[in-house]
Amino acid sequence: MSQSLINTEVKPFKASAFHNGAFIDVSDADIKGKWNVFFFYPADFTFVCPTELGDLADYYEQMQAIGVEVYSVSTDTHFTHKAWHDSSETIGKITYPMIGDPTGAITRNFGVMIEEVGLAERGTFVIDPEGKIQIIEINAGGIGRDASELLRKIKAAQYVAAHPGEVCPAKWKEGEATLAPSLDLVGKI
């Protein structure tokens, strides 16, 4: 990425997705007013990807409980997502929308397209209710992500959004002490 996407608004998009046994349309209008995760991955029917998507499926109910929608995105089609969902036990447990981005438009908008192969990087984006990106994580292809850590980060982002003037220190967990940045704290942490 040439510039950070933090605090930038998600660009308009329209796409087809596979969700709960049906094909649905998804657009930027669907993400407004709630927290969202866009979880980009290289391709269906691969190796690290199903482990990540399965892990995310295991945490989906907890994310829904705190008002977060999850969208997985690859440059495969929504038809391929259905075929993968129907043929893999791991992917079969997914109940969040699986967006197909065969033109790569959404993947490019988020800056995670690997142009020479037409696939997405392992990019995770947490988007606030105003449609602005608050968290970005991009991993190399061979490094899988951890949904429990993603959930922790989302809770921290939600806390900071709801408590102006407070910040969450490293390894912060829900219910733990936060910090109120001030001149008095400089050099004392």
Q: Of the residues 17, 49, 119, 120, which is catalytic? A: 49
The amino acid occupying position 7 is N
**Is 49 an annotated catalytic residue?**
yes
Q: Are 73 and 40 in contact (CB under 8 A)?
A: yes
As annotated, the active-site residues are: 49
